[in-house]
């Protein structure tokens, strides 16, 4: 399936504002962002989309101090928890965005700015009539292809085999991605640890953006 990458354009919008230190919602008012806008420096820009309580983002930022990690989460209680933890550990390389991640990718992230995207345990909406509610769809995959650098990766992890196969099909339909064998280990999120302890299998795929 042939598809084209849409160039990001600034979009006027009423953005949710949260006053806590470490949150970067106000940065979006100037248009699409990258690591330099959010962190004041260049560095591997890593997105944790639907970050939940932030266990993965926090661990990743601790293990990779040179990286620029943005945790995107739309539930304010979780956002505040991540922000407090980041302050507690003095993580200057972790910022938090109170926003819907598919909207952020579509309208507020610069082209070819991102090194890694992590989508971990999103709601699988298992009933067929609810599949349209899944945040991972062709539109969001197109947005990922636009914001990733060539050679950048999207990592998808779920406990739902059905959602895993759904994601595999969608990425395969995109002309911009190819499946990549895991070449490194990642910090385990809270959900991943729980599922492993319960003996529930988790399914992972890593998709690399092709060079033009």
Residues assigned a catalytic role: 123
Binding positions are 48, 73, 123, 127, 159
d(CA 144, CA 123): 18
Annotated binding-site members for substrate: 127, 159
Helices (H), 15-116: 35-39, 55-63, 76-88, 101-107
| Binding site feature residues for S-adenosyl-L-methionine | 48, 73, 123
Q: Are strands 94-98 and 114-120 parallel, antiparallel or unpaired?
A: unpaired
Q: Smallest Cα–Cα separation from 72: which of 40, 30, 27, 139? A: 27
CA distance 174 to 142: 8
Cα radius of gyration rounded to whole Å, the chain: 16
Closest by alpha carbon to 79, among 121, 39, 25?
A: 25
């Amino acid at each position: 399936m042939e598809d084209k990458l849409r160039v990001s354009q600034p979009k006027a919008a009423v953005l949710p504002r949260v006053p806590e230190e470490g949150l970067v919602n106000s940065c979006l008012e100037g248009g699409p962002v990258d690591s330099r806008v959010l962190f004041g420096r260049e560095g591997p820009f890593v997105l944790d989309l639907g970050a939940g309580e932030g266990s993965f983002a926090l661990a990743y930022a601790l293990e990779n101090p040179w990286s620029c990690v943005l945790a995107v989460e739309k539930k304010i209680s979780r956002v505040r928890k991540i922000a407090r933890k980041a302050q507690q550990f003095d993580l200057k390389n972790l910022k938090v965005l109170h926003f819907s991640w598919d909207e952020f990718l579509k309208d507020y992230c610069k082209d070819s700015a991102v090194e890694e995207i992590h989508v971990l345990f999103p709601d699988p909406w298992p009933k067929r009539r609810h599949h349209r509610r899944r945040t991972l769809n062709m539109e969001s995959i197109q947005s990922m292809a636009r914001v990733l650098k060539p050679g950048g990766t999207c990592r998808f992890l779920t406990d739902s085999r059905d959602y895993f196969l759904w994601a595999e099909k969608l990425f395969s339909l995109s002309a911009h991605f190819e499946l990549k064998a895991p070449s490194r280990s990642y910090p385990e999120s809270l959900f991943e640890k729980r599922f492993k302890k319960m003996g529930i299998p988790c399914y992972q795929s890593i998709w690399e953006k092709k060079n033009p």
